[in-house]
């Protein structure tokens, strides 16, 4: 063990280790993040399978399992949950479970695409504004503040009224609305990173401005925005569902959870199952993303360690030391990456110390 430690360290790329990999390694110790990841992956599988089912297989999978989500049955209107329809049927006698499964495509697509638009738009604009400074910064940030000062849902509703209610416009509307928040975060990140010594070093080494911005500054500021993206995924899904609920979003017959709740409202008394299950799915989905985002933030925050609370017991230690086969080089690497060697940690610690004084 002791002999190969030095080669181990030499082979290490500290920059990558301290950033992405260390975060992933730290995530393994967070129950919240694992739970969230499980929920999100399950939904992702559901969404992918139903998309394949719709496009390639002509609803064959869902038909064999639960019945066609688009098939109407006038004899089965508002049928309560039963063996045949585990979540009951809606006002056209369509199977609620099948529609919920298909609805996962819509929810995840909106979450991922809208957040993607907001993320890239916001990062580009915010980083550009911060790096340019001066009046460019002023104009961009003032324009984004305009977007930011109208409450999101009201703005989205107005945009949807213009563009017409459809899922593609929903992507667009929520993408645009997300831009200011990301721009703000990346802007403040860039402003603080710009003052770092390694940027001076890069300048001294003769790197071009764009290279410094895209290769040095943005990658280092990205982690903060990434956490925000994961956490805002949930609010985008809720917001889009709210729009569909109000009638401005996804239109029938496409199965979407928000739209299902819209029709469920009028039949709440006679068929509560039509309202309960779609909302529950929104809740579970958003919970999954929020858990993942929470875990991610904790893992990226160098001040909190997720694995410290559990200390190695004395027997375990004795076991490990006595038995060389149990020594786990990967485990010790992990320790290295997570704590002392990581450059970013050192930087953050230093700034913390500065604040305290």
Report the nearest approach of another protein to the CB of residue 145 (Å): 5
Q: Which is nearer to another protein, 66 or 245 (CB)?
A: 245
Of 137 and 294, nearer to another protein (C-beta) is: 294
User: Pick from 132, 122, 229, 115: which is nearest to 184 by CA?
Assistant: 122
Which lies closer to another protein via its Cβ, residue 5 or residue 265? 265
Minimum distance, C-beta of residue 163 to another protein, in the bound complex (Å): 9
237: Cβ–Cβ under 8 A, 6 or more apart, which residues? 107, 110, 111, 282, 285, 286, 289
Nearest distance, CB of residue 238 and another protein, angstroms: 5
Radius of gyration for the chain, computed over Cα atoms and rounded to the nearest angstrom: 25
Shortest Cβ 158–another protein spacing (Å): 5
Q: What is the DSSP letter of 19?
A: I
The residue among 196 and 294 lying less far from another protein, judged by its C-beta, is 294
The contact set with another protein (CB under 8 A) reads 142-143, 145-147, 149-155, 157-159, 161-162, 164, 234, 238-239, 241-242, 245-246, 261, 264-265, 268-269, 272, 275-276, 278-280, 282-283, 286-287, 290-291, 294, 303, 309, 356
d(CA 89, CA 97): 8
Tell the smallest beta-carbon distance from residue 301 to another protein (Å).
Answer: 10
334 vs 356: CA distance, rounded Å = 29
Q: Which is nearer to another protein, 7 or 303 (CB)?
A: 303
Which conformational region is residue 85 in: left (phi greater than 0), alpha (psi within -120 to 50 degrees), or beta?
beta
The three-point CA angle 77-80-81 to 5° equals 125
């Amino acid at each position: 063990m002791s002999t190969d430690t030095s080669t181990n360290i030499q082979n290490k790329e500290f920059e990558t280790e301290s950033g992405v990999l260390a975060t992933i390694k730290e995530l393994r110790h967070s129950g919240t993040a694992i739970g969230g990841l499980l929920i999100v992956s399950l939904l992702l599988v559901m969404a992918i399978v139903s998309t394949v089912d719709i496009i390639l297989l002509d609803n064959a999978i869902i038909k064999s399992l639960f019945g066609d989500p688009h098939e109407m049955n006038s004899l089965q209107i508002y049928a309560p949950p039963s063996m045949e329809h585990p979540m009951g049927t809606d006002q056209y006698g369509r199977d609620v479970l099948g529609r919920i499964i298909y609805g996962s495509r819509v929810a995840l697509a909106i979450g991922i695409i809208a957040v993607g638009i907001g993320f890239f738009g916001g990062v580009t604009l915010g980083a550009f504004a911060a790096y340019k400074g001066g009046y460019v910064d002023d104009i961009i940030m003032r324009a984004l503040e305009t977007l930011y000062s109208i409450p999101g849902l009201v703005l989205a509703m107005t945009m949807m009224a213009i563009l017409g209610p459809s899922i593609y416009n929903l992507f667009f509307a929520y993408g645009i609305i997300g831009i200011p928040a990301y721009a703000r975060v990346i802007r403040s990140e860039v402003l603080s990173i710009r003052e770092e010594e390694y940027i001076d070093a890069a300048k001294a080494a003769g790197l071009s401005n764009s290279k410094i911005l895209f290769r040095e500054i943005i990658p280092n500021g990205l982690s903060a925005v990434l956490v925000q993206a994961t956490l805002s995924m949930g609010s985008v899904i809720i917001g889009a569902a709210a729009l569909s609920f109000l009638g401005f979003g996804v239109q029938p017959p496409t199965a979407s959870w928000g739209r299902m709740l819209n029709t469920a409202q009028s039949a709440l008394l006679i068929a509560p199952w039509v309202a309960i299950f779609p909302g529950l799915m929104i809740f579970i989905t958003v919970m999954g993303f929020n858990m993942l985002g929470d875990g991610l933030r904790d893992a990226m925050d160098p001040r909190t360690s997720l694995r410290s609370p559990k200390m190695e017991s004395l027997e375990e230690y004795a076991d490990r030391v006595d038995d060389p086969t149990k020594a786990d080089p990967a485990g010790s690497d992990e320790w290295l990456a997570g704590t002392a060697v990581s450059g970013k940690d050192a930087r953050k610690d230093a700034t913390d110390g500065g604040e305290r004084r």
